[in-house]
Structure 1
Amino acid sequence: MTTKYYIEEVYAEPLQAFTIWMKQSGYTETTRKEYLREVYDYLFSLDELPVQQAGKLNVVSFLVSKQESAGDKTRNRTLSAIRSFYASLIDFELATRNPALEVKKSKTEKNKIPVYLEEQELKKVLTYVDGRYRDRNLAIFLLMGYCGLRVGEVHRMNLSHFKKDKGTLEVLGKGRKWNEIPLPELVVEYLAKVEEERIQPYSAKEEAFFVSQKGRRLSIRQIQKIAAHVFDAFKQDHPQLTDMKLSCHKLRHSFATMLLRNNVDIRVVKELLGHASIETTMIYTHINDEQKRSAMTTIEVPKV
């Protein structure tokens, strides 16, 4: 019997509860898979001990066992998965306490500056979007780089979410929270064009706004591959950016940075990004060297 089947046999009910709970809570498919993988490893470490009998020591011991091969960020993700696991058991009355809440997260670099593209660099990236599905792919880049959508939000976008007459987009974000955002005029025009040229879906019931060449909803992985192809071509012509780790989420970083550079109120930026807490938005308030130099020119040093 493989480890996976062994765990599913010993902890069938808790795993079923966790799977159902994550779907009900609006966790993305990617997060569900990652969290389940972490929880499978945790349950294996319990060695058939009932989950309701496990305590803080069990959680810490498991985290320590993984510490050599994982950094603080990975450890915190593992801890979050276990916390969510116990939260689901409490919700379904399969446990009465969450021992993972008693374990502190590792301190990461809270002030680490997010990777982002400058406004001119972002404009140049768009010129590298080409190919047969250029309009569709360009619209995707515009939604992430100039509207701040997450890749999962682009993936979940349906035809009914685009309100052409109002010039807005209904975004289904994390935790199944809806957020209606106004769109720049040019983005509205591109989306209208993509809607008009939309590939006929394989299923007549398919509501996806972005459809693959096979007639199915464009997957998160496919969107990431489209972005990676564009970034690779862009980097070839801009060797100074070779080491910059660009991704779909970096386009979102660029959008947030651009807004704050334009002196948009951080509370408005928070709402546009769909953040639950303004503390999350604060990571984008980084200052660049040019702003520092500009600030110093306002200082008048007296001659003595």
Structure 2
Amino acid sequence: MDSHSRPPKLMDRVKATMRVKRYSPRTEKTYCYWIRYFIRFHDVRHPAVMGGTEVRAFLEHLAVERRVAAATQNQALNAIVFLYRHILDQPLGDIGEFSRAKRPRRLPVVLSHEDIMRVLSHLAGPMHLMATLMYGSGLRLIETCRLRVRDIDFERQIVTVRAGKGDKDRTTLLPAISIPALQQSITVTNHRLDDRLQHGGVPVTLPHALERKYPNAGVSLAWQWLFPASRPCFDDTGKVVLHHIHPSAVQRAVRHAMRAASLTRPGSCHTLRHSFATQLLNQGTDIRTVQELLGHKSVETTQIYTHVLGKGFAGVRSPLG
């Protein structure tokens, strides 16, 4: 059989289908990991000759032997369900009972405003600005990394988060304190763009098929990353492009800042977002507004912060006051 007429490999089909359905690159990477793991666990048998029994055994292995978290086990299950439903066209149906990973209920780590200010004092430049936005706007780390010039509205003081978790757009607060640094960042971005245009014009990465619709978008100021990577890279087609900063670089900087601030409960980038939520609730902001600003699908997710504040008992007071 000629190589050009061979059917695409299973994992190539998985990737192609996820891109058609507009799954995020992170979800694509995660699903591919679990599908490969599932296949290797069953001695590289093709999933088409397996079914519910093999899936159940795999999930049991994750819970009992690997002792993964509940969210991790659910993630693996979602990846395998996607494989059977959308790639193999043979939905699994009921796979029967299997050991569920335990789901311990832990309250998120939150910091006081004073602690956050101490952390920020140990950051500088873009890292300081990104941490300020995670705390002042309630952004997730990846949402902060993906900000473009067009997402900042100085006049209305809002930040637009595009294709956030669940591929949904939302708007949130733009803290006034970050406006001068953002304006300076956009000025620097414009200068760097002019420099790139004079040396061949390396475009930024663009979402989905936007490049075909707007060929010049990649070299327009509006579409530039606010926090670009330090150097260009190759995209999936082999084209040289400029991507946003890698989240791991920001995570490292924030962790170092938290250690330098000598916190009793050091956290992570997500701690800044948690602290945004608790500060708003502490100020009396209604929980539905906080839900919208955070981009939570369910208000139940947002309610965890009321327990952090000790306000989850509908105003009931102790007999001792």
Cα offset for 1:190?
Answer: 2.8
Corresponding residue to 1:150 among 137, 140, 144: 140
Q: Provide the C-alpha distance between the structure 2 equivalents of 1:231 and 1:20, rounded to a whole number of angstroms.
A: 40
More off after superposition, 82-91 vs 146-155: 82-91
Distance 1:104 1:269, change over 3 A: farther
Q: Provide the C-alpha distance between the structure 1 equivalents of 2:254 and 2:48, rounded to a whole number of angstroms.
A: 44
Q: Deviations over 1:239-269 (max 9, x none)?
A: xx2xx34111111111111112222111111
Cα offset for 1:227?
Answer: 1.5
Distance 1:50 1:204, change over 3 A: closer
Corresponding residue to 1:189 among 180, 186, 198: 180
Corresponding position of 1:275? 296
AA aligned opposite 1:158 = R
Q: Could you tell me whether the CA contact under 8 Å between 1:259 and 1:269 is conserved in 2?
A: yes
Corresponding position of 1:19? 15
Q: Provide the C-alpha distance between the structure 1 equivalents of 2:99 and 2:20, rounded to a whole number of angstroms.
A: 27
Counterparts of 1:81-100 in structure 2, within 5 Å, are 81-92=76-87, 94-97=89-92
Does 1:113 find its partner at 2:107? yes
Q: Provide the C-alpha distance between the structure 2 equivalents of 1:195 and 1:27, rounded to a whole number of angstroms.
A: 29
Unaligned regions of 5+ residues in structure 2, if any?
Answer: 1-6, 205-223, 233-241
Moved over 6 A (4+): 289-292
AA aligned opposite 1:280 = T
Give the SS at the match of 2:159: strand
Corresponding position of 1:162? 152
Corresponding residue to 1:261 among 269, 273, 282: 282
Distance 1:84 1:254, change over 3 A: same
Q: Provide the C-alpha distance between the structure 1 equivalents of 2:97 and 2:86, rounded to a whole number of angstroms.
A: 18
AA aligned opposite 1:124 = R
Give the SS at the match of 1:149: coil
Q: Provide the C-alpha distance between the structure 2 equivalents of 1:189 and 1:174, rounded to a whole number of angstroms.
A: 28
Q: Provide the C-alpha distance between the structure 1 equivalents of 2:35 and 2:83, rounded to a whole number of angstroms.
A: 12
Does 1:39 find its partner at 2:60? no
Distance 1:182 1:250, change over 3 A: closer
Distance 1:27 1:159, change over 3 A: same
Counterparts of 1:166-245 in structure 2, within 5 Å, are 166-172=156-162, 173-198=164-189, 200=192, 203-206=201-204, 207-214=224-231, 216=242, 217-235=244-262, 238=263, 241=264, 244-245=265-266
Give the SS at the match of 1:170: strand
TM-score w.r.t. the length of structure 2 is 0.74
Counterparts of 1:278-297 in structure 2, within 5 Å, are 278-288=299-309, 296=317
Q: Could you tell me whether the CA contact under 8 Å between 1:83 and 1:101 is conserved in 2?
A: no
More off after superposition, 192-201 vs 257-266: 192-201
Whichever structure has more helix as a proportion of its residues is: 1
Distance 1:289 1:82, change over 3 A: closer
More off after superposition, 278-287 vs 21-30: 21-30
TM-score w.r.t. the length of structure 1 is 0.77
Cα offset for 1:89?
Answer: 4.1
Distance 1:147 1:232, change over 3 A: same
More off after superposition, 54-63 vs 210-219: 210-219
Q: Could you tell me whether the CA contact under 8 Å between 2:38 and 2:58 is conserved in 1?
A: yes
Q: Deviations over 1:57-114 (max 9, x none)?
A: 21221133334553341x541442332342254235632335669757434123x111
Does 1:65 find its partner at 2:61? yes
Q: Could you tell me whether the CA contact under 8 Å between 2:14 and 2:87 is conserved in 1?
A: no
* Percent of matched pairs sharing the same residue: 24
More off after superposition, 47-56 vs 172-181: 47-56
Distance 1:76 1:113, change over 3 A: closer
Give the SS at the match of 2:66: coil
